[in-house]
Amino acid sequence: MLDKVKSLISEIKDTSAKTNEEIEQFRLKFIGRNNIINDLFGEFKSVPADQKRELGPALNQLKVLAAAKLKELSASLNSKDVSSADVDVTLPGIHAMEGSIHPISQTRSRIIEIFERQGFNVEDGPEIDNDWNNFTALNFPENHPAREMQDTYFIEKDPDILLRTHTSNVQTRLMKAKKPPIRSIMPGRVYRNEAISARAHCFFHQVEGLVVGENISFKDLKNTLYHFSKEMFGKDTKIRLRPSYFPFTEPSAEIDISCFICGGSGCKICKQTGWVEIAGSGMVDPNVLENCGIDSTKYSGFAFGMGIERVTMLKYQLDDLRLFSENDIRFLKQF
Ligand code: PHE
């Protein structure tokens, strides 16, 4: 029996296969259900004890060898398959398309990060709201043009339900719900009934901010936005405040930053002025505080608002707002 085992061992060692059928034959003989090695193990039981010492290890070796050979045969045949088939194995692989974060989301995250480090928390509110939260509480006079149909998408009349025109509706809700101190930003989508062009869209995104507390002054507003501008556009950025008007702030100011492309000497982006506008701002009008149940003799506050599209366009020097909502992969994959 030992001779038989030895001859099978050398048979296995010498085996090679050129086809899958040959491999299958090998498998049936040595590994399959009624394989020859199992038969030998069966016979092994009745072998005299003195022969078992030598025969046992040899049988085990046979079994291990058969399994290893089967692996080796199929591996070598498969690799031959690849090289012989009509496949050019030197071609680069096909990569799965990877998504990327939309530029608007990237800018929003960056803005949030900068304000969070200044102690602001993020507040959210509905895109559909009533006239009071979007306009009346914010001191918009009854006949203010922003309320008219050309600016606002009304959903229902009496009581007026509309698509918010700014995220200031979240400021109203916040002041009604919480007592000062308040130090929050509100990012979100807003809607205005505008003709779609390179410069305007019927929806866009804003981040507004609100700080209400004791002894909050214009100096705090200026410092907060100065710090933001340096973080967002570079440490040499300067800011400039221009008097402006918003119904809900008094005094109000438009915030410009020194042009980070030309450094202030004048270029296409800043239209040769050296400055670009990034935000509206002002001290919260006492009427607004009172409308929301906050004592305007004790508390003061400042607010600001900026367009995320605008900040993104400045940062990447884009000149068409529509690119953000067209889902053109050639545009999006650059970010
Ligand atoms: N709500 C203003 C807008 O949408 C932006 C703003 C917010 C201005 C806060 C001043 C203060 O244009």
- Residues touching ligand 1 (Cβ under 6 Å) are 166, 168, 208, 246, 249, 280-282, 303-305
CA-closest residue to ligand 1 atom 9: 304
**Choice from 168, 175, 191, 304 to test ligand 1 binding pocket (greatest atom count within 8 A of CB):** 168
Least-confidence region, from 12-21, 69-78, 80-89, 303-312: 80-89
CATH topology of domain 103-332: BirA Bifunctional Protein; domain 2 (3.30.930)
For helices 36-44 and 20-30, the axis angle rounded to 10 degrees is: 10
Closest CA to 45 of 31, 59, 28, 62: 59
Closest CA to 310 of 154, 222, 199, 155: 199
In the predicted structure, residue 105 carries a pLDDT above the cut 70: yes
The domain limits of the chain are 2-82, 103-332
User: Would you state the structure tokens that stand for residue 292, as one six-digit string?
Assistant: 């929301």
CA-closest residue to ligand 1 atom 2: 305
- For position 85, what pLDDT does the model report? 64
131-151: per-residue pLDDT in tens?
999 999 999 988 888 787 668
| All residues at 6 or more sequence positions from 287 whose CB lies less than 8 Å from its CB, including other chains | 139, 296
219-265: per-residue pLDDT in tens?
999 999 999 999 999 999 999 999 999 999 999 999 999 998 888 88
